[in-house]
A and B are shown apart, each in its own frame.
Chain A
């Protein structure tokens, strides 16, 4: 084959692959937003030592653990967490498995943070909420300040479908955090 033709074929394949990688992320996220189920994950303030003063708020979740039910779970291993909603409308983990659940689409792909005889704690795949550069540091302060007040309700609005998840918004006492910063 002519060298020049080969280079152009390689170029076309390269362009296709380079477009496909971010495009597949966009398609999967849009599909999860359009057809996935929405959950409210209760959040907690982040330890000030861990604060990242940048373009996103680091989130910490309250209901990110479940009983191991007699099984042994290794740290960092990939697991599937089935998600349900409690009576007050907040999300919690209903089941944990090493295989993809077949009876529901509302499950997350996540990793085990640590595990002992009583609890398995997971890393949720949505612990960063990106905001405009000028607003993120202020938003993080508000998130941590209000999160510490008794009776405050802060949660992350997340769409879930077959292991994929998209963090839609962070809500503080019923107001999206973007609006809270503007107030």
Chain B
């Protein structure tokens, strides 16, 4: 049913007045970006990227007929065109967002192209990591000068690629750097502004998903050795994502747009499911003995501690209200981790108990809120746990069978009682 029909129905039922209906209708019309404008921005940006790349490819042909000085001039040409377009769109004020986004996309590629074309003229092979770092740093101001979301999205993609590239290049001579995290912090003001001014935009949707995915990918590049500390810091990250997804700032966004709230719990379940296997601990955690000096020299450990502290701060700011089990998961995991150093067998056993508790708490939370979706999500966690144990060959078939029957019966029973409760209340 469209909003207009709903409003008419509410007016007819004397729930709201005609004036209220008009005001609500006007607000909806102003808040929504008209579809033709959205299309214009999409095609404008695509056009700018294609034309920009086309010019760069023509120049990259490295025409032998041209003297070196002319090749250098051509190397600067896309950059200057991009900067002139930027100045022109700035002169137009805030009126033409399509031009601003297109100029930003063009300038973004032009900066990278001119460094690369100069390198080509003087045969400078360079280092890909340094090149990406310089490119991204030079493009960070584009986001704020043009208030451009496409520049911001390209920037997130670029710094993620930088982190992956430098992360794969770790050695004792090239320790991991923190530039990715500093550059990611650079987009926070734009993200905050986008949320406040345009909370329903597609750009915010893409920002949510790209930032969260980038965080998940790049935490793994802090330390390329998969060990106990990596699992600890990832649990802290997933808790942090869940906490962020539940903050008033992000909570009010559309469900599909809230990547924090989707990927935080999903990541926790996937990681805990892996950690519930004895073999996983044997291969990735117990193999590298953890001692105190390893912990205090590990950057990935500090990354985890930072995520844990931010999560605690945010939970405290909300007076620990309305939080769910996924936001607290890092605390029991810290204890499991510490105990498993002295008593290795504790690890997988307690992770199984933790996952089961997570499922039960989620079901309880869903029942309390009378939310069938949350209840089934809790049941799904228990079903995943049961499926994981299905692969454990040292559990008897009978026990596994009973486990599956119990979980299946639980699904039926929970849904039946919830629906029955609802009907009684109606």
Contact = CB atoms under 8 A, between A and B. Distances in A.
A167 B115 contact: no
A113 interface: no
Contacts of A127: 125
Given A75-B173, A178-B64, A21 B145 contact: no
Interface stretch (B116-124, B187-195, B398-406, B407-415): B116-124
B173 A77 contact: yes
Contact of A25 (B64, B111, B118, B144): B118
Interface stretch (B55-63, B269-277, B350-358): B55-63
A18 B79 contact: yes
Contacts, number: 92
Interface residues of B, number: 36
Q: How large is the interface on A (under 10, 10 to 19, 20 to 34, 35 or more residues)?
A: 35 or more
A171 to B, nearest CB: 14
Contact of A10 (B76, B144, B172): B144
A122 interface: no
Given A25-B118, A126-B125, A11 B86 contact: yes
- Counting chain B CB atoms within 10 Å of each CB, the highest count among A25, A75, A127, A129 belongs to A25
B360 interface: no
A166 interface: yes
B90 A14 contact: no
A55 B60 contact: yes
Contact of A76 (B86, B90, B174): B174
Contacts of A132: 61-64
Given A55-B62, A126-B123, A14 B115 contact: no
B123 A128 contact: yes
Given A22-B79, A25-B119, A29-B122, A8 B90 contact: yes
A25 B141 contact: no
Contact of B75 (A22, A55, A133, A178): A22
Contacts of A15: 83
A25 B115 contact: yes
B118 A130 contact: no
Interface in B62-106: 62-64, 72, 75-76, 79, 83, 86-87, 90
A133 B62 contact: yes
A133 B61 contact: yes
Contacts of A23: 76
B138 interface: yes
A34 interface: no
B79 A29 contact: no
A19 B79 contact: yes
A25 B76 CA distance: 12
A27 to B, nearest CB: 10
A19 B80 CA distance: 8
Contacts of A130: 62, 120-121, 123
Given A11-B145, A26-B122, A126-B123, A18 B64 contact: no
Contacts of A29: 122, 124
Nearest to B140: A14
A13 B83 CA distance: 12
Given A17-B138, A75-B171, A131 B76 contact: no
17 contacts: A7-B144, A10-B145, A14-B145, A21-B134, A22-B115, A25-B124, A55-B60, A75-B171, A76-B169, A76-B171, A126-B125, A130-B121, A132-B64, A166-B122, A166-B123, A166-B124, A167-B122
Given A75-B173, A132-B63, 11 more contacts: A11-B141, A17-B138, A18-B114, A22-B75, A25-B124, A26-B122, A75-B171, A76-B173, A129-B123, A130-B123, A166-B124
Interface of A: 7-8, 10-11, 13-15, 17-19, 21-23, 25-26, 29, 55-56, 74-77, 125-133, 135, 166-167, 178
